[in-house]
Each structure stands twice: as structure tokens, then as C-alpha cells.
Amino acid sequence: MNSKAIAVMASGRGSNLKVILESVAAGECPVDVQLVISDKADAAALEIARDADVPHIMHLNPKDYQDRAQFDAACADLIDHHGCQWIVLAGYMRILSSSFVRRFRGRIINIHPAILPAFPGAHAVEDAVSYGVKVSGCTVHLVDEVLDGGPILAQAVVPVLDDDTRDSLHARIQMEEHKIYPATLKRMMEDGFSIIGRKVIWNS
């Protein structure tokens, strides 16, 4: 198995996939994007992957499978078939089944638009605005069975302005996501890490 090979799972615009692929092309992020999987046939992420000549690009329709576990098993088989060591979630909007997480434990990476453990879930940005926090940001973390609950790899802080809306704050958070995600993948490949309890200890 190629230790730098990754599968990216995406559902939407693919902005994080795009910056990862651009970082790879620029020689700044030493990962090998072998596979992109989307659960949406019209996801812009698929076109981004095609434009970047990703070797394997797949749309799997969840409606073709009996349940979430079967759909995830099909995705997992593709990931193993193409020799991917890591799974990188980039705007992937489906909650992964426990069986999928167990199969790839410690090898699934996600980015979340909040400073975890604050504001987990799908509405993190609007929750932060509604709560009135003065800072928010983004978190790169390992995925476990708890939604947005895995060990934290990296975080970046973004100030929340008095006149921020969900969209204005999210735009600034995404600017940080686009820096921190490829940088974290680079560090994973070059330095590696160990986990003690909940704490990620970088080897550098």
C-alpha cells in the first residue's frame, strides 16, 4: 500500500479538494490523490478531480444500496482496491457508519468549520454566530464514531466580527481551511504522529 496515497470523499463544490490538488501540483503537499469518491453525481468536486487528472474518479449513488452500511462498504472496498492509506473528507456530507470508521480507524481525516469541541455538526458556522462567540475557526481532526469528536490534528482561529453573517464568517473560515488542510496533510506525510489518550503528538 502506498503510504502517501489518499482517497478524497466529497459531496459538493470541492474547494478543499481543489486546494489540496493545487498544493500537490505545486510540490507543496506530498500526497498522492489516487481516488475521489462522491455521493452526488453533480458535485463540482468530480469535475475538479477530472481537470486535475486524478487516476480514479467515482460517483456512487446511495440509493443503489440497501442502507448506509452497504454504501459505506462499497466505498471502503474501492478505497482498499486502489491502495489508499488515508481517507480525506472534503465537504463530505454523509455521516460515516461505525463499520467504515472501524475499518479505517486512525486513517480518516476531516476538517470542520469551528474550533472543536465547540459547535459540532452541520450548522457550526451559524451556531457560532448565533451564540455570539468572539472567535471561531476550523479544526482538522481524525474521525471516530462520535460526530466531529475525533482527536485534533490542527486548528486555526478566525475572529468573529460584530456584523458577521453566516456567509461572511464562513468565507473567512474557508480561507483558513484552504491553508491548514494541505499543510496538515504535508505534516502527516513528513513527520507522522502518535496518539496518547485524546492527544495527537507530532513526531517532529
Give the max Cα distance, the chain.
49
Q: Which of 112, 141, 170, 178 is catalytic?
A: 112
Annotation says 81 is catalytic: no
96 by DSSP, 3-state: which?
coil
The one-letter amino acid at 31: V
Residue pair 9/30 in contact (Cβ under 8 Å)? The answer is no
As to burial, measured by CB atoms within 10 angstroms (0-12 exposed, 13-18 middle, 19+ buried), residue 65 is middle
Please provide residue 42's backbone torsions phi and psi, each rounded to the nearest 5 degrees: -100, 15
Pairing of strands 32-38, 2-10: parallel
Q: How far apart are CA 30 and CA 166, in angstroms?
A: 33
Catalytic machinery residues: 112
